[in-house]
Amino acid sequence: MTNPPLRLALIGWGAIAQTAAALLDSEQVEVVAVATRSRTGARPDVPASARRIVDPTELAATQPDVVAEAASSAGVGPWGRAALTAGADFIISSVAALADEQLLDLLRDLAGRRGAQVHIQPGALAGVDGLAAARSMGIDAVEHRIVKPPLAWMGTAAEDMCRLHTLSEPVAFFHADAAETASRFPKNANVAMTTALAGIGPRATKITLVADPDATTNRHEIAAHGAFGELNVAISNNPLPANPKTSSLAALSLIRAIENRTQAIVI
């Protein structure tokens, strides 16, 4: 007997969501809803099986099993509440939103009361599973270094911290904990909160942001040590063809998070 397809609602229809929809196995996952900013304008690229919605109050009627956010930090709260209230699991990509401790507590409480789960997908990172596992024995320190080309920091507070246009060598322009980093750079350092929540928390996790004129990819370097031993992970991400500002692995990690809910064996 074949199980029915997983009913998936996608929040956002940018490069990450579109890549996920295109690569997911349609026999195992049915996209039943896509949330966009507006209902106006033709969107032939939206799956034929999906209902276009614009407001969280419309979500429950689509009866999703899983709701995957791939939009923005601002959408995590309203869509997360709607998903969990409907009893659906909620996958978060815009993890910077969880720098708001009240929102994090609200989603945790709501998931517990509704028998649902909030899943923070690793996005552009590697090694998050090891970091989360090490936490059980104890972690003394976690440092996460984010290195990007100067162009990737344009339009952020980095413009006031260093001369992005004229850099001739790498500059570490910002040092802070994960909570402050995610709040000040919600799009460019979104994964700072992922590292923090996997390990020792937003206030104890140290983040360094670097603009490197020689960089051609977005690079993440995570170092941790404790009773478990030492963990050192580095990953350089190529951009998604559909959006050079987005790492390919951010979309691929979301696909894995969704597909794991349909598999008999999960790694």
- Indicate which residues carry an active-site annotation: 220
Per DSSP, the three-state class of 45 is coil
Compute the half-sphere exposure of residue 187: CA atoms within 13 Å on the CB side of its CA: 12
Q: How many residues does the chain have?
A: 267
227: Cα separation from own chain's centroid = 28
Name the strand (E) or helix (H) holding 47. none
Q: Token pair of 57, please? A: 């109050």
Nearest to 258 by CA among 56, 60, 35, 70: 70
Name the strand (E) or helix (H) holding 7. strand 6-11
161: Cα separation from own chain's centroid = 26
DSSP-assigned letter for residue 166: G
Q: How many CB atoms lie within 10 A of CB 196?
A: 27
Q: Can you tell me the distance from the alpha carbon of 81 to that of 92, in angstroms, rounded to the nearest whole number?
A: 12
